[in-house]
Structure 1
Amino acid sequence: MHKVFEQVTLLIVNSAKVASVGEALTVLVPRVPGALESSETFVRSVGGAELNVAVGLASRGVPAALLTRVGDDGFGRHLVAEAAEHGVDVSAVEIDPVRPTGLYVKEVGAGSPHPFDLGAARSRMHYYRAGSAGSALSPAYLRRPEVRAVLDAVELVHLTGITPALSASAYELCLAVMAEPRVGGRRVSFDLNWRPALWAGREAEGVRALDTLSRAADVVLLGVSEARTVFGTDDPAELRAELREPRILVLKNDENAATAFDGETRFDVPALTVDVVEAIGAGDAFAAGFLGALVSGRDVRTAVEEAHRLAVVALSSHGDHVGAAPTAP
């Protein structure tokens, strides 16, 4: 490992309860909203669903680790340091000496008359992650001693449907995580996170991959549009009948309310009222709130209520992750 990174990763090792596995990204956000071609300066941040979940967990006092790969570059060093600053265990982050750290640019609308302005309060993400260090995740990564030390200690491993879309080797990593023995009652959660842009031209392959991974998980989270795409229904009862393998199933509807199943027991939990500033990151905050409550011994209904509360924090801000933001009432 590069010595500079070694100093950073040793800042925090927190005996994680949850390991979040997937690509973490540098984020560039225009300092002034508007059409991207008019943006001259950008603010750097960090993001990616798996990092967002790890930060959300750590910020709420649930020890979490990030399992990812970054480039041997300034973006990678910043990303690792930022995650550690938020209390995330980064001891198992692998440094790729050749591939760069992935990044995305967030375009934020201003409601100006410019023909390419997205519109006020609207945003879009532009990804630059092809050939990135994170896209080279593979089952070999799981055999690294630092990674094994984390995985052997946690109570839950979290994956999303973004990772299998990155590359064949990243999909194999997901399958390998699902296939590991559930030692000590360890569970695996899977947030469907269907991203059409990542599966463009191979949608059928994506549906098969996400279906396979969902059926191998212990906990599955998904939205109604994702449910329609992958499982052909957004009706909670029909979805539970179709997807019986995971014990816990959480379906979020378009109003951000949720229906959850713990086995055959159903819970319908309304969302909280909030003035939405930006929706990006709310799904990751929901996952962090839910999983944090779950590993803390809460029942499924209470976990969904916690998920709603943390999602409100994300919906009320422009950040991609909740960080150390105050918990919503």
Structure 2
Amino acid sequence: MQRLWQRIKLNQFVVLGRVGMDLYADPPGTRIEQAQRYTSAIGGSAGNIAVALARQDVGAALLTCVSDDPIGRYCVAELTRYGVDTRYLRATAGEARNSLAVVETIASNCQSVLYRNGAADFCLCDTDVAAVDYSGVAALVVTGTALACEPSRHASFGAMAQARMAGALVVLDIDYRAYSWTSPAEAALICRQACAASDIIVGNDDEFGLLAGSHENGKAYAKSLTYHGALLSIYKRGAAGSITFTPDYSFETGIFSVTARKPMGAGDGFMGGLLAGLAQGHTLETSVRRGAATAALIVAGIGCAPASPDTAALDHFISQY
């Protein structure tokens, strides 16, 4: 754990993965099939994590590809507005497009339609990742969706190796999305390889169950990662909170109960709040709690990036809870 604390205080992160546009049926509570208008926001797991970090006063750069069109430029402009460093974004020409999600602000039975064929972020290549200087970076954060196909998969593993050679931590958000993979078996194999190359692994019970071969064995698998090199792994259980495993001890953390307006964005917020807390010198227990609080505020708000709290809002929420 000493290596974690020594490196994390650099307070600079590179997040690898997708960013896209979300269109929310407006006003909140409107069903997509009844909507007459929509509000826009950036989305995508890596984009949301980068925004969550930047909102909590942590340096965050996004490493990805965007489409060379107005949607790609929208994503870059929004990232910049939130304070995310876009120097490692490449606009890719041709038919590749940024993801587009059409979603609802509804807590239960929430509908979402995702358009992700020929995704621009899957165009990430070795040349893109080679351009990153990790000498002053605390950690590379990889979202598992980037591992789903080539050339992004090979580039992601290359980035992980490059980061570790420079002494940076490698953080993996398993982020399993079945629609991006050819099969669950392929996803399990590749994500297990990514876990072995990571220092911090975060996933939910279904994701660890996938990697373990059964839902019942997921918790034990998450714990076992700390026996084989991981500094910590966090096993998320939805409303039941999370269990954090380290090589020396483990602990449980509950959720912050809020009135949810939508089910999306909690995992991205959790990762952002967790890493920001660690970078700012909070204890591991407090940092996990800050991740849970960030997740709660995002599901209670409208949009994901727009609902991501700044440090003052997060501190106030925790103090008032």
- Normalised by the length of structure 2, the TM-score is 0.85
Partner of 2:130: 143
Aligned pair count reads 300
Shift of 1:291: 1.1
Partner of 2:64: 68
Aligned pair partner of 1:180 in 128, 144, 162: 162
Identify the range of structure 1 (236-245 vs 314-323) with the bigger mean alpha-carbon deviation.
236-245
Higher relative contact order (CA 8 A, sep 6+): 2
Alpha-carbon distance between aligned partners in 2 of 1:189 and 1:21, rounded to the nearest angstrom: 10
Partner of 2:14: 19
Residues 66 and 92, structure 2, Cα contact 8 Å, conserved in 1? yes
CA 1:279–1:99: 2 relative to 1, 3 Å: same
Partner of 2:143: 160
Alpha-carbon distance between aligned partners in 2 of 1:256 and 1:80, rounded to the nearest angstrom: 36
Shift of 1:168: 1.8
Alpha-carbon distance between aligned partners in 1 of 2:42 and 2:294, rounded to the nearest angstrom: 19
Residues 25 and 101, structure 1, Cα contact 8 Å, conserved in 2? no
Structure 1 residues 255-294: aligned runs within 5 Å: 255-294=239-278
Alpha-carbon distance between aligned partners in 1 of 2:210 and 2:96, rounded to the nearest angstrom: 32
Structure 1 residues 237-248: aligned runs within 5 Å: 237=220, 239-241=222-224, 244-245=227-228, 246-248=230-232
Unaligned runs of 5+ in 2: 1-9
Partner of 1:127: 114
Look up the equivalent residue of 2:194 and give its one-letter code. L
SS at match of 1:26: strand
Look up the equivalent residue of 1:157 and give its one-letter code. L
Residues 17 and 143, structure 2, Cα contact 8 Å, conserved in 1? yes
Look up the equivalent residue of 2:301 and give its one-letter code. S
Alpha-carbon distance between aligned partners in 2 of 1:324 and 1:139, rounded to the nearest angstrom: 34
Alpha-carbon distance between aligned partners in 1 of 2:88 and 2:263, rounded to the nearest angstrom: 30
Alpha-carbon distance between aligned partners in 1 of 2:183 and 2:72, rounded to the nearest angstrom: 30
Deviations 1:221-259 (A, max 9, x none): 011111112213456345313663312101111315111
Alpha-carbon distance between aligned partners in 1 of 2:95 and 2:169, rounded to the nearest angstrom: 31
Alpha-carbon distance between aligned partners in 1 of 2:233 and 2:242, rounded to the nearest angstrom: 10
CA 1:81–1:181: 2 relative to 1, 3 Å: closer
Look up the equivalent residue of 1:195 and give its one-letter code. R
Q: Where is the helix percentage greater, Structure 1 or Structure 2?
A: 2
Alpha-carbon distance between aligned partners in 2 of 1:184 and 1:140, rounded to the nearest angstrom: 17
CA 1:240–1:16: 2 relative to 1, 3 Å: closer
Identify the range of structure 1 (20-29 vs 242-251) with the bigger mean alpha-carbon deviation.
242-251
Partner of 1:28: 23
Query: Which runs of 4 or more aligned residues in structure 1 lie more than 6 Å from their structure 2 counterparts after TM superposition?
Result: none
Deviations 1:253-297 (A, max 9, x none): 131511101223111122222222212001100000111122233
Give me the identity figure in percent.
23
1:254 matched to 2:238:
yes
Shift of 1:187: 0.1
- Normalised by the length of structure 1, the TM-score is 0.84
Partner of 1:307: 291
Look up the equivalent residue of 2:296 and give its one-letter code. V
